[in-house]
Amino acid sequence: MGEHMTRQARRAQARNKAKLTEVAWKALKEKRSSGGDGHYLTRDALLPYFWDPSIADMVRDNIEQTLRQVLGTDVIPENGLRIRIRILHVVGKNGNVSQAVVAGAQQGKPDQSSHVAIMGYFDDGNVRTPASADKLQDLAYLFDETTSEIRLPLNFLCASEIPKRPFGNNWLYQIRFNAEEARRKEIIDQSFFDTLGHGYIGVTARPFVKRMVEHYKDMRDGKGHLLHSVWRDLRRREIPHRGIAQISGYSETEDGIYKMEEKLVEK
C-alpha cells in the first residue's frame, strides 16, 4: 500500500501543513488550564500526539490515573500492559457539547509492547452520549464496539528525550488492518489477510493523531491512494476488520526518520 510522491514533495507538503496548523495550536495552548506532572507522565506528555491541548490533557490525566490504579508506583512493564481510552462527546440537556474521556486497563499479549489504545477514534466522530452519571458509568462496553484504534507506546509517552511539542518531532508509523475474523470465516484468503496485516508505512512531523485523522478523512471522502482505496473497500464489502494505526519509531531528524522508513519497507 505505497505512496507515489517523491520524498522531496512529501517533505514540502508536511512543512506547509505544519505552518498552517502551528499558529492555531499556539492560540489554543494559551487558554490551557494550569496543572503539574504526575508520577508516570509529565504534564505535557501527550502534547506531541494531539493537536488540541485540552484533549491531550484529558487523555494524559486518565492514563496517569489508570497507571496509578494498576501499578501503584511500580515501574511500567515493557510488555503486556494495555491502557484503553475512549474520547466522548457529551451532549447536555441544553444542547451544549463537551468532551470527556473514559479509561481502562487490560492485559495485553505477553510479547506486545505496553501501549495506550485510543479506541474508536475513526468511528465517525467518536461516541456521543447524553450527559448523565448513570450513562457515563456504563460506558465500558464501548471499548470493544469499534472498528479502529490508535496505539501510542507507553515508552514513547514517558520518554524524556522526546520534545513535548506537537510539531517538529519525526514519527514513523504504520496503518494496518486486523481481519482475523474474516480470515477465520474464510471471507478473505490468506494472501489478502497478510497484505492487510502489513499495511502502510509512513512518516510525519506533525501531531500523530491529527495525521491519522487526515488519513481517515481521505478514506471517507474518496481521496488518497492505495491505502485509502483498500480501507474503503473493506467498509463497502462489510468485511470484519479493525484499522490499527501505531507509532513504530522516532527520530530527531528528517533524514533519520526516512532511513528508518526505508529499512522497515525493505523487510
Q: Compute the average pLDDT of residues 186-210.
A: 93
pLDDT tier at 29, thresholds 50, 70, 90: confident
Q: Compute the average pLDDT of residues 76-90.
A: 90
Round to whole Å and give the CA distance between 69 and 58.
17
Three-state DSSP at 21 gives helix
Nearest to 126 by CA among 155, 161, 87: 87
Q: What is the DSSP string of 83-109?
A: EEEEEEEEE-TTS-EEEEEEEEEEE--
Round to whole Å and give the CA distance between 23 and 262.
32
pLDDT number for residue 36? 85
Residue 242 has pLDDT above 60, yes or no: yes
Phi, psi for 32 (deg, rounded to 5): -70, 140
pTM as predicted: 0.83
Residue 245 has pLDDT above 60, yes or no: yes
pLDDT tens figures, 141-180: 567 778 889 999 999 999 999 999 888 899 999 999 999 9
Residue 24 has pLDDT above 50, yes or no: yes
Higher pLDDT, 112 or 10: 112
What count of other Cβ atoms lies within 10 Å of the Cβ of residue 251? 18
Average pLDDT of the chain, as a whole number = 85
Q: Which residues of 98-109 are buried (b: 16+ CB within 10 A; e: fewer)?
A: eebbbbbeeebe
92-101, 135-144, 211-220: lowest mean pLDDT where? 135-144
**232 is written with which cell numbers?**
474503503
Q: Compute the average pLDDT of residues 65-92.
A: 91
Q: 3-state SS of the chain: helix, strand, coil percent to 5?
A: 40, 25, 35
Phi, psi for 68 (deg, rounded to 5): -65, -40
Structural contact between residues 89 and 128, judged by C-beta atoms closer than 8 angstroms: yes
What count of other Cβ atoms lies within 10 Å of the Cβ of residue 9? 10
